[in-house]
C-alpha cells in the first residue's frame, strides 16, 4: 500500500525527519487559507500515487495566497498523467500546500529491501531531483548503498560513509546522519517496502529537509498497521486489484496481456504465465486463488477476470491438492452461466477429484475448451485469444 506525500511526511516527521511546514487542502479556498497561515511563498503539490508530478503539471510555485488558490483550482480535479501512470492518469482530490524552499542542492535518499542481500538497503545519491532509474543507468557511480544488517542495525559510520559520498559534509553531516537513522527506523517499524526522499533538499540557508516523500508499506504486514491502512486511498489503485483484495484474493496483479488466468498456487501461477509466453501469448493478470474450496470464491475471481476489457480468453489451470477440482469446476460453470465470463475459456484440471470435476464440465454442455496437459492448455488459450 502506498501513502500520499502528505501522509508520508506526517509519518516521517513523527520520527524526527525534517519536512517543510504545510498542510493538505481539499479545496482552492483551503489552499489559500493555508498559504495565508504560512505567510510565505508556497509550493502547491498534487497528491497522487506517482512520481514525475513536477513534469506533469502537478507541482506549482505560488508567491501569494491568491496564486496558491489559483494553482489549487488548476490541480484539484485533474487527472494527472506522468511517465508512471499510463495515458489514463490518476485522479487528484487534494493538494499539499507547503512553505516554498529556496533550494541550493537536491539529493536522493531511500530505504528499500535488497532481495539479493536479503536486507534493507539505504541508497543515497548527490544526483537528486531527477529520475533515479535514469541516474542508475547513465552514471551508476553516483549511486551509493549501505545494507542494514539485522543484528547491528544501521550504524553511524554507514551514515557518515553516505554523507561523504554525497557531499553532505561540514555542518550537514550531523543532521544528515540523524535524518538517515530516523528514515531507517520509520522504514523498519512500519514494515516499509520503499521509503524515498527525492529531492532531499539543502536550502540556501543551510537547512536539510525532505522536499518530497514516498512511503510504501508491505501489504503482507497490513494487519499490523490498522492506523496506516485507514489512510489507504483506493481511488489511486487498480479497481480490479481493489475488488480482488476485498474478495479475499490477496494475489491478484493486473498485467498487460489478454489472457486471463485462474490458477491455484503462486508457483503454478508463475509457471502458467511462463507457458503462455512460451506459446507466444501474454497473460492479462497473475491470480493465485489459493486453496479455494468454495464455488463462490471461484465465481468471485472469474468475475474480476471476465470484466477486464483486455481479456480475450480465459485459462483455468488447476492442480488440485488440498483444492478439490470438482468444486472449482462448479465455480467455473456457475461463473459462465451467470454471464460473468463471456470470453472463450480453456480449462485444465488435474489432481483431487478430477473425474468428478471433468464430469461436471461435460454435463454443463457449455462450450468450454478442454486440455489435459499444461503446454496444451497454454497453446489453446493463446489460440483462443487470437
Ligand atoms: P515529483 O515530480 O512527483 O517527484 O515531485 P517533487 O515533490 O519531487 O517536486 C518536483 C520538483 O519540484 C523538485 O525536484 C523541485 O525541483 C521542485 N520543488 C518542489 N518543492 C519545491 C520548493 O519548495 N522550492 C523549490 N524551489 N522547488 C521545489
Ligand atoms: Mn520527487
pLDDT digits 0-9 by tens, 217-234: 998 898 999 999 999 999
* Residue bearing the CA closest to ligand 1, atom 19: 211
Helix, coil or strand: residue 39: coil
User: Is CATH 3.30.470.20 the right assignment for the domain spanning 1-20+103-236?
Assistant: yes
Ligand 1 atom nearest to CA at 99? 23
- How far apart are the C-alpha atoms of 126 and 209, rounded to whole Å? 14
Domain boundaries, the chain: 1-20+103-236, 22-100, 238-384
Ligand 1 center to 225 CA (angstroms) = 29
Ligand 2 center to 54 CA (angstroms) = 8
pLDDT at position 26 = 98
Q: Which ligand is nearest to the CA of 99?
A: 1
Does residue 101 line the site of ligand 1, with CB under 6 A?
Answer: yes
- Which among 307, 315, 316 has a CA at the least distance from the CA of 282? 315
Per-residue pLDDT tens, the chain, 386 aa: give them: 999 999 999 999 999 999 999 999 999 999 999 999 999 999 999 999 999 999 999 999 999 999 999 999 999 999 999 998 888 899 999 999 999 999 999 999 999 999 998 999 999 999 998 888 899 999 999 999 999 999 999 999 999 999 999 999 999 999 999 999 999 999 999 999 999 999 999 999 999 999 999 999 998 898 999 999 999 999 999 888 888 888 778 689 899 999 999 999 889 999 999 999 999 999 999 999 888 788 999 999 999 999 999 999 999 999 998 889 999 999 999 999 999 999 999 999 999 999 999 999 999 999 999 999 999 999 999 999 99
Does residue 212 line the site of ligand 1, with CB under 6 A?
Answer: yes
8 A C-beta contact, residue 36 and residue 21:
no
Known catalytic membership, residue 108: yes
pLDDT at position 293 = 81
CATH fold for domain 22-100? Dna Ligase; domain 1 (3.30.1490)
Ligand 1 center to 54 CA (angstroms) = 6
pLDDT in tens, 269-279: 999 999 999 99
- Which among 277, 345, 341, 342 has a CA at the least distance from the CA of 314? 345
Does residue 22 line the site of ligand 1, with CB under 6 A?
Answer: no
- Which among 126, 177, 124, 127 has a CA at the least distance from the CA of 154? 177
* Residue bearing the CA closest to ligand 1, atom 6: 212
pLDDT at position 250 = 67
How many CA atoms are closer than 13 Å to the CA of 194, on its beta-carbon side? Answer: 12
Known catalytic membership, residue 196: yes
Ligand 1 center to 200 CA (angstroms) = 10
Ligand 2 center to 185 CA (angstroms) = 21
* Residue bearing the CA closest to ligand 1, atom 15: 129
pLDDT in tens, 271-323: 999 999 999 999 999 999 888 788 999 999 999 999 999 999 999 999 998 88
CATH fold for domain 238-384? Rossmann fold (3.40.50)
- Of 32, 67, 98, 108, the catalytic one is 108
Q: Which residues pair with 350 in a beta bridge?
A: 319
Please list the helix, strand and coil fractions of the chain in percent, rounded to the nearest 5, in that order: 40, 25, 35
β-pairing verdict for 192-203 and 208-210: antiparallel
The set of cell numbers assigned to 157 is: 559510520
pLDDT at position 154 = 98
- Of 5, 30, 32, 196, the catalytic one is 196
DSSP alpha helices (H): ranges in 1-141? Answer: 5-14, 28-38, 65-75, 132-138
Does residue 100 line the site of ligand 1, with CB under 6 A?
Answer: yes
Give the CA diameter of the chain: 79
The neighbour count for residue 90, using CB atoms within 10 Å, is 24
pLDDT at position 130 = 80
* Residue bearing the CA closest to ligand 1, atom 13: 129
Amino acid at each position: 500500500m502506498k501513502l500520499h506525500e502528505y501522509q508520508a511526511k506526517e509519518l516521517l516527521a513523527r520520527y524526527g525527519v525534517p519536512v517543510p511546514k504545510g498542510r493538505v487542502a481539499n479545496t482552492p479556498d483551503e489552499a489559500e487559507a493555508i498559504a495565508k497561515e504560512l505567510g510565505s511563498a508556497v509550493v502547491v503539490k498534487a497528491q497522487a500515487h506517482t512520481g514525475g508530478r513536477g513534469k506533469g503539471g502537478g507541482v506549482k510555485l505560488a508567491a501569494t495566497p491568491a496564486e496558491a488558490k489559483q494553482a489549487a483550482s488548476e490541480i484539484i480535479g485533474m487527472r494527472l498523467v506522468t511517465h508512471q501512470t499510463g495515458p489514463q492518469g490518476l485522479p487528484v482530490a487534494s493538494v499539499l500546500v507547503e512553505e516554498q524552499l529556496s533550494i541550493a542542492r537536491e539529493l536522493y535518499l531511500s530505504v528499500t529491501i535488497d532481495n539479493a542481500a536479503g536486507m534493507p538497503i539505504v541508497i543515497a545519491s548527490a544526483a537528486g531531483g531527477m529520475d533515479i532509474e535514469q541516474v542508475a543507468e547513465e552514471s551508476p557511480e553516483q549511486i551509493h548503498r549501505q545494507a542494514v544488517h539485522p543484528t547491528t542495525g544501521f550504524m553511524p559510520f554507514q551514515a557518515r560513509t553516505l554523507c561523504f559520498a554525497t557531499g553532505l559534509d561540514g555542518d550537514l553531516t550531523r543532521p544528515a546522519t540523524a535524518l538517515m537513522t530516523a528514515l531507517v527506523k520509520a522504514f523498519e517499524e512500519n514494515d516499509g517496502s520503499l521509503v524515498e526522499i527525492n529531492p532531499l533538499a539543502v536550502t540556501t540557508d543551510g537547512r536539510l529537509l525532505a522536499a518530497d516523500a514516498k512511503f510504501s508499506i508491505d501489504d503482507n504486514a497490513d494487519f499490523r498497521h490498522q492506523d496506516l491502512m485507514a489512510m489507504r486511498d483506493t481511488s489511486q489503485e487498480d479497481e480490479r486489484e481493489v475488488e480482488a483484495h476485498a474478495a479475499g484474493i490477496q494475489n491478484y496483479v493486473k498485467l498487460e496481456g489478454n489472457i486471463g488466468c485462474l490458477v491455484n498456487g503462486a508457483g503454478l501461477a508463475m509457471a502458467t504465465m511462463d507457458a503462455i509466453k512460451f506459446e507466444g501469448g501474454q497473460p492479462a493478470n497473475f491470480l493465485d486463488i489459493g486453496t479455494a474450496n468454495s464455488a463462490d470464491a471461484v465465481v468471485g475471481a472469474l468475475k474480476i477476470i471476465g470484466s477486464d476489457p483486455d481479456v480475450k480468453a480465459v485459462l483455468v489451470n488447476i492442480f488440485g491438492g488440498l483444492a478439490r477440482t470438482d468444486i472449482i469446476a462448479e465455480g467455473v460453470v456457475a461463473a459462465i452461466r451467470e454471464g460473468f465470463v463471456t470470453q472463450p475459456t480453456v480449462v485444465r484440471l488435474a489432481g483431487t477429484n478430477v473425474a468428478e470435476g471433468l464430469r461436471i464440465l461435460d454435463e454443463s454442455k457449455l462450450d468450454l475448451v478442454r486440455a489435459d496437459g499444461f503446454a496444451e492448455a497454454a497453446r489453446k488459450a493463446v489460440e483462443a485469444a487470437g
